[in-house]
A and B are shown apart, each in its own frame.
Chain A
């Protein structure tokens, strides 16, 4: 098992080395980059938006219902919601959700291309297939995912605001005061960094698994599942490491 792990890690490193070679033609790379940004990031906006709005609302209700002590100012509901969103939900939870969407998309696309010999055909033309197919995906996911995090944060706050307005669970002024209380801008950077790192892991691991898919349609399915599981585990592992390094 350890040998297999080391072998896969080595192959993953070699794969990345091939992926990060200079593109054959920049014009083709930019075209692909724009296409992948649309496919991986823009198409995820709706999913992230819906989840964020609902989670923001739920967080307000749960936090308020757990802070019934009259000695605690209701303002802290807004504060807790903001901190929960920025520190964990908008990066880690959204990344876990994206691991499913983005990971399966990349792994199945490359896996299908592998088993139908399309990748072999590219290689035979002298094209760096790993670079052509995976580099735009990895860069698009890594560079633009922080925007998804920011969007998730804003919409999470908005979701909470909607619930506060509709239910009057706490006074709106208190919610807004809580959102402004002790704001630390570094947390936004920390969360954007985490999101970027997580999306790099998701896209590169899924591309690696899809690119090396074997054994027909079952192999494509297996590569998708493997990508999602590996990405989720690594996201949680790196969440712990990055949090320890950056916040403590």
Chain B
């Protein structure tokens, strides 16, 4: 469970996050949606402690991440998996080594055990054959899958995905969404996904928060999104023709 309370962040005079409060429950796909530049990435990075907020708090199972010491934060982060927009795979390592990287640091497993776990994770995301390749040799979709495999390597309690299907074709995007959703249920993780992709929202959006101008203007799920009175959200949803048709029919 993640609890966000009155989160505020400004860069100079620009207020990027304005008094945001929301709860994220485990086992479901929690989504942060909004147009490009609405503050989604800053929100996600603030949640995981990469950006310090000006005010407010973020607590993981009751522990406030802002008041943690360096060592406490380090321990906490071992339970967090992150899939970055750019996948952020390490160029200097092969796919297998990328997945083994967190195990090298935080387990005392033998090399054979680590390899076995890494291969299981790669198999789980359907890229087992790519183990010996370098990230630059993979397609965007495969890189995302490897990113997910690395994120779940230590069976994290929390999973954060920043636009997991940006730059992917619609079919691969849905596969990635389904994979994230399956893993969330399988591991009982608290998953937070940043996206502006309506297909993803309609596919796996169990708990959705709509960010606009730094404010969380609307909260709901993929079923209630079509009944919203929020004008900004309606505009956002109707930018997708499929969603517009559904909305018009209702």
Contact = CB atoms under 8 A, between A and B. Distances in A.
27 contacts: A28-B104, A28-B105, A113-B90, A113-B91, A116-B91, A117-B88, A118-B88, A118-B89, A118-B91, A120-B45, A120-B50, A120-B82, A120-B88, A121-B82, A121-B84, A123-B77, A124-B50, A124-B77, A124-B80, A124-B82, A125-B78, A125-B105, A126-B73, A126-B76, A126-B77, A126-B105, A128-B74
A116 B87 CA distance: 8
A73 interface: no
B223 interface: no
A34 B78 CA distance: 27
A67 interface: no
Given A116-B91, A120-B45, A121-B84, 18 more contacts: A28-B105, A112-B91, A113-B90, A117-B84, A117-B85, A117-B88, A118-B90, A118-B91, A120-B88, A121-B82, A124-B48, A125-B77, A125-B102, A126-B74, A126-B105, A126-B106, A127-B102, A127-B105
B120 interface: no
B101 interface: yes
B15 interface: no
Interface in A169-192: none
Interface of A: 24-25, 28, 112-113, 116-118, 120-121, 123-128
A187 B144 CA distance: 56
A138 B75 CA distance: 26
Give the one of A24, A118, A128 with max B CB within 10 A: A118
B94 interface: no
B41 to A, nearest CB: 10
Contact of B101 (A112, A123, A125): A125
B65 to A, nearest CB: 12
Interface string B41-81: 00001001010000000000000000000000111111010
Q: How large is the interface on B (under 10, 10 to 19, 20 to 34, 35 or more residues)?
A: 20 to 34
Contacts of A127: 102, 105
Contacts of A123: 50, 77
Given A117-B88, A121-B82, A121-B88, A25 B105 contact: yes
A24 B70 CA distance: 13
Nearest to A132: B105
Contacts of B74: 126, 128
A25 B75 CA distance: 15
B50 to A, nearest CB: 6
Interface string B102-123: 1011100000000000000000
Given A25-B104, A126-B106, A117 B77 contact: no
A40 to B, nearest CB: 15
Contacts of B102: 125, 127
Contacts of A128: 74
A116 B136 CA distance: 13
B152 to A, nearest CB: 12
A25 B86 CA distance: 28
A126 B75 contact: yes
Top-3 shortest CB links A-B: A126-B77, A121-B88, A117-B88
A117 B45 CA distance: 11
A125 B82 CA distance: 8
Contacts of B48: 124
Nearest to B77: A126
A248 to B, nearest CB: 44
Contacts of A24: 105
Max chain A C-beta neighbours (<10 A), residue from B45, B74, B76: B74
Contacts of A125: 77-78, 101-102, 105-106
